Chains A and B, each alone.
Chain A
């Protein structure tokens, strides 16, 4: 029981990170039906911005996170303007390939500028404390990651459900042309979507930096893919789905490593993707509406 509780803690902190990244995937998909494969790499850029904010500007972790979120929000908007907007009326496959191209671009431009070697997050940026409660070890950074992830998700939920911008986003997601007729600026709404999604990825990037202490230019690939699976699992395009999908993925991986065999961990993660696509392609929370074209 003790071991199980410890595994739950491990799984929830991993799941919180997946959920944060999955939110960005799902928001962009919900609005323009694009799987933004560069999302994981924006997370990586966010981690680097946070790193330099701490090491060069000497800021604390919260400020570093804000700096990274602002930087990546701008990056997301620019990316959308340059790479995705000209393709908005092209085939979806063209936009998808552009996303993969952008992903590689971000990875290797970082390699060129900052070098391929990993960078170490200074331990002083977030002094780790271990709390031993009834035989369980809980780290302050696990609490930090979990709480800030949940907080960001609540803020996001508020923006989408309670604000005008959120209403516009939901409208564009439902029907772009009708939204235009209602006087909603589609361009502006899509820009805001990219800004929010990228800011969430940046927050996740800084959290990964704090949590695992090392960052490198290719760190976005695997978490990005896992978060993508999480988004599909919950029902891509649906925000609650992404949250639940993220936590399910985190717990699933942890339990497979903990009670099954660590060698099958990734196989199970991607096996889930295949099973979901075969049995319920719309995901756990999705309604079967048929292909919208």
Chain B
């Protein structure tokens, strides 16, 4: 711990030294080239993972953001100025995310989009906070990204366009109670992950608020393969709905075993279900009457989503995934904030971001709450004979 801290400190010191050297020799010329207030373009930092462990997340989000910026510029830009996306690779590490942010701040960005993972956003956060420049995270789902857990204070300059993980529990509870008309539910959650526990807790809370009853609460742990005993017990209590927040490795055999035990009740879960292995393990028949929540689906028939999917396919020749859609929404949200603020001053943009209401993105209509989390819709995806189809959009 101590050595890590020292390393970060050393890095910071080294960067400050380098920055001061640049500041020393370059100060004069900068003013000549870019007089204040007459910038030709609005520089926007895109600090994402283009290499390393989660390179696919980062590059898809980058593609989405770049598409949004091109569309905006083609339509005349914002406040009469063109946006300029400055793409930088944070190499999927928090340290690199931090130094990339420091470099982008040096390029006078008005806001930063990215990085993708919660850990990398945390690396970038101190730089953005110190320089009072807003950061919009596309997909960082950990609760402490926008809120300091020690003090409980919202991080003033950090925003996100994705809902936090546990919120999916709320959405599924609404769906079960309103759309499936379930009165009783059993929860069978992955208790070895924060993800599973968080979703289960939110589901329980909302389902009870909706007047439903939780008749069984059971758990499994990552790596389990035999669910027969608990499923037999759940079958005995005969619930209208079974909520199984977890990851596909366990959920797929679980659903198969449930159907083999003649449990016909609808089964629901979260985006941890989203894998081709669901179909190959559980089989199309067992998956009928199962539902999961997700940020977005490229199969959505909403006209705005269809237009986005077509534009994305035309430009990149591939299907946009959730990261691409969230990256796109990041850039669009920033433009909305610049318009609302009627300024490119980072502080004014930040204030506008905090007051966003009913912004319509491709991942749904969103309102930023006081913790800088979006209150937004999610999609409920249903397995129909093995194919993922959008059942409905759930608006909280």
Contact (Cβ within 8 A) B262 A132: yes
Taken together as a complex, chains A and B put the C-alpha atoms of A132 and B232 apart, in Å, by: 14
Within 8 A of B (CB), among A224-245: none
Write out the residue numbers on chain B whose beta carbons fall within 8 Å of the beta carbon of A211. 225
Contact (Cβ within 8 A) B281 A214: yes
**Minimum distance in angstroms from B85 CB to a CB of chain A:** 34
Closest B residue to A215 using CB positions: B225
Per DSSP, are chain B's interface residues mostly helix, strand or loop, or mixed?
helix
Q: Tally A residues with Cβ within 8 Å of B.
A: 36
Taken together as a complex, chains A and B put the C-alpha atoms of A271 and B253 apart, in Å, by: 27
Contact (Cβ within 8 A) B260 A257: no
Within 8 A of B (CB), among A210-226: 211-214, 216, 218-219, 221-222
Partner of A262, one of B219, B256, B281: B219
Name the residue in B223, B226, B277 with the highest tally of chain A Cβ atoms < 10 Å from its Cβ. Answer: B226
Write out the residue numbers on chain A whose beta carbons fall within 8 Å of the beta carbon of B357. none
Given contacts A3-B236, A118-B277, A214-B249, contact A262 B262 (CB under 8 A): no
A128-146 Cβ-contact flags toward B at 8 Å (1 or 0): 1010100001010000000
Within 8 A of A (CB), among B183-216: 188, 191
Taken together as a complex, chains A and B put the C-alpha atoms of A259 and B232 apart, in Å, by: 10
Which of A7-15, A19-27, A75-83, A100-108 lies at the interface? A7-15
Given contacts A118-B277, A137-B260, A263-B219, contact A10 B249 (CB under 8 A): no
B247-260 Cβ-contact flags toward A at 8 Å (1 or 0): 00100110010001
Please tell me if A115 contacts chain B, counting CB pairs below 8 Å. no
Given contacts A130-B260, A213-B281, A262-B219, contact A257 B249 (CB under 8 A): no
Within 8 A of B (CB), among A242-291: 253-259, 261-263, 266
Please tell me if B1 contacts chain A, counting CB pairs below 8 Å. no
Contact (Cβ within 8 A) B277 A120: yes
Closest B residue to A14 using CB positions: B226
Write out the residue numbers on chain A whose beta carbons fall within 8 Å of the beta carbon of B225. 208, 211-212, 214, 219
Taken together as a complex, chains A and B put the C-alpha atoms of A214 and B226 apart, in Å, by: 11
Write out the residue numbers on chain B whose beta carbons fall within 8 Å of the beta carbon of A262. 188, 218-220, 229-230, 233
Within 8 A of A (CB), among B328-368: none
Given contacts A137-B262, A139-B260, A218-B223, contact A212 B253 (CB under 8 A): yes
Please tell me if B280 contacts chain A, counting CB pairs below 8 Å. yes
Within 8 A of B (CB), among A1-53: 3, 6-7, 10-11, 13-14
Given contacts A262-B219, A263-B219, contact A254 B256 (CB under 8 A): no
Please tell me if A123 contacts chain B, counting CB pairs below 8 Å. yes
Write out the residue numbers on chain A whose beta carbons fall within 8 Å of the beta carbon of B188. 262
Write out the residue numbers on chain B whose beta carbons fall within 8 Å of the beta carbon of A139. 260
Write out the residue numbers on chain A whose beta carbons fall within 8 Å of the beta carbon of B219. 262-263
Write out the residue numbers on chain A whose beta carbons fall within 8 Å of the beta carbon of B249. 118, 214, 216
Given contacts A120-B280, A212-B225, A214-B281, contact A128 B230 (CB under 8 A): no
Write out the residue numbers on chain A whose beta carbons fall within 8 Å of the beta carbon of B236. 3
Q: Tally B residues with Cβ within 8 Å of A.
A: 27
Partner of B229, one of A218, A221, A258: A258
Closest B residue to A130 using CB positions: B260
Write out the residue numbers on chain B whose beta carbons fall within 8 Å of the beta carbon of A11. 229
B154-188 Cβ-contact flags toward A at 8 Å (1 or 0): 00000000000000000000000000000000001
Partner of A263, one of B218, B232, B281: B218
Name the residue in A6, A130, A139, A222 with the highest tally of chain B Cβ atoms < 10 Å from its Cβ. Answer: A6
Partner of B253, one of A14, A128, A213, A218: A213
Name the residue in A7, A13, A266 with the highest tally of chain B Cβ atoms < 10 Å from its Cβ. Answer: A7
**Minimum distance in angstroms from B276 CB to a CB of chain A:** 10
Given contacts A208-B225, A213-B281, contact A6 B232 (CB under 8 A): yes
Given contacts A118-B249, A132-B262, A213-B253, contact A258 B281 (CB under 8 A): no
Taken together as a complex, chains A and B put the C-alpha atoms of A156 and B230 apart, in Å, by: 33
Contact (Cβ within 8 A) B232 A10: yes
Please tell me if B261 contacts chain A, counting CB pairs below 8 Å. yes
Please tell me if B40 contacts chain A, counting CB pairs below 8 Å. no
Please tell me if B17 contacts chain A, counting CB pairs below 8 Å. no
Partner of B233, one of A216, A253, A258: A258
Write out the residue numbers on chain B whose beta carbons fall within 8 Å of the beta carbon of A137. 260-262
Contact (Cβ within 8 A) B260 A128: yes
Partner of B221, one of A123, A254, A259, A266: A266
Name the residue in A214, A222, A262 with the highest tally of chain B Cβ atoms < 10 Å from its Cβ. Answer: A262
Taken together as a complex, chains A and B put the C-alpha atoms of A7 and B262 apart, in Å, by: 14
**Minimum distance in angstroms from A94 CB to a CB of chain B:** 30
Partner of B252, one of A214, A219, A221, A255: A214
Taken together as a complex, chains A and B put the C-alpha atoms of A137 and B228 apart, in Å, by: 11
**Minimum distance in angstroms from A252 CB to a CB of chain B:** 10
Write out the residue numbers on chain A whose beta carbons fall within 8 Å of the beta carbon of B232. 3, 6-7, 10, 258
For the complex with contacts A123-B283, A214-B249, A222-B223, 13 further pairs of A-B residues with Cβ separation under 8 Å are A7-B233, A10-B226, A10-B229, A120-B281, A128-B260, A130-B262, A208-B225, A213-B253, A214-B277, A221-B223, A257-B230, A262-B219, A263-B191
| 19 pairs from A and B in contact (CB 8 Å cutoff) | A3-B232, A3-B236, A10-B232, A13-B228, A14-B228, A120-B277, A120-B281, A130-B262, A139-B260, A208-B225, A211-B225, A212-B225, A213-B256, A214-B249, A218-B223, A222-B223, A254-B228, A258-B232, A262-B188
Q: Which 5 A-B pairs have the closest CB atoms?
A: A257-B229, A10-B228, A212-B225, A254-B229, A262-B218
Q: Which residues of B contact A (CB under 8 A)?
A: 188, 191, 218-221, 223, 225-226, 228-230, 232-233, 235-236, 249, 252-253, 256, 260-262, 277, 280-281, 283
